[in-house]
Amino acid sequence: MPLVRLQKILAEAGVASRRAAEKLIVDGHVTVDGAVIDTLGAKVDPDAVEVAVDGRPVRARKKLYVALHKPPGFLCTRTDPEDRQTVLELLPKEWSNLYPVGRLDRESEGLIFLTNDGDFSLRLTHPRFGVRKKYIAHVEGRIDQPALASFTEGVEDAGEVLKAERARLISANNSHSVVELELAQGKNREVRRLFAALGLEVVTLRRTQIGPIRLAELPAGKWRILSPAEVKSLLPARD
């Protein structure tokens, strides 16, 4: 069998995301046949050696990919030190090994994936893969065409350039506007910051699509398992 990078083995076993697996390796938590391996890039034959994290053998897990309609008020994390509600509470207890792919802020709702496949998570969240996401924002005030154009031209906020790939005005009146944005960068709270940079306040925000997968009619708080074809459609260049 071809040799596989150690961090990929950990990620595919659901131990952690690829980035988190790299930190486990560097921090000396990972052993191969009892010997600590703390060098990134190390490759092994997973069928010929025993890989362990903190002494616990790593076993290949069945990969699971879940689409969830996150309601407002839930955190996209596995645990919270303040004991606030998390998206894991919306899933069956036996899926406690899953973790969110990216984030939606607490006030927002919409489509989010959860998985135990670290490689899948990396490819959907790293900027170099440019996976596009669509959002519907209800905003206070009227948005005009110059403001709409500024979203795709880019605005600066906190030293970062925020930019939408596409922006579409769905409706507007003197008190309220509805806008659809498509983004590819994945920066923290990017949609809300785009509007705030123009002095506009987002009232509600819903993510409606990730790549080709749509939220569609999935009710808030409910989940469904992605089909193999859907997973493949999200990762067209996967090796």
Domains in the chain (CATH in brackets) are 4-57 (3.10.290.10), 65-128+213-234 (3.30.70.580), 132-210 (3.30.70.1560)
Over residues 113-168, the pLDDT tens digits come to 999 888 889 889 887 888 999 999 999 999 988 989 999 999 999 889 999 999 99
Q: What pLDDT is attached to residue 170?
A: 96
Residue 46 and residue 3 in contact, taking contact as beta carbons nearer than 8 Å: no
Say which DSSP state 6 is in. H
Residue 162 and residue 187 in contact, taking contact as beta carbons nearer than 8 Å: yes
φ, ψ at 170 (rounded to 5°): -85, -45
Q: How far is CA 121 from CA 39, 114, 164, in A?
A: 22, 8, 22
Q: Which residues of 205-234 are buried (b: 16+ CB within 10 A; e: fewer)?
A: bbbebbbebebeeeeeeebeebeeeebeeb
Q: What pLDDT is attached to residue 47?
A: 82
Q: Is 105 a catalytic residue?
A: yes
Question: pTM value?
Answer: 0.77
Q: What pLDDT is attached to residue 239?
A: 43
Longest Cα pair distance anywhere in the chain, in angstroms?
68
Q: Which one from 80, 83, 105, 144 is the annotated catalytic residue?
A: 105
Considering only CA atoms, which of 77, 70, 74 is closest in space to residue 109?
70
Q: What pLDDT is attached to residue 118?
A: 82
Residues of the chain with pLDDT under 70: 1, 236-239
3-state secondary structure of 236: coil
Q: Distance between CA atoms of 140 and 164, rounded to whole angstroms?
A: 19
| Length reported for the chain | 239
φ, ψ at 162 (rounded to 5°): -100, 135
Hey, which residues does 204 pair with through a beta bridge?
Answer: 138
Q: What pLDDT is attached to residue 16?
A: 83
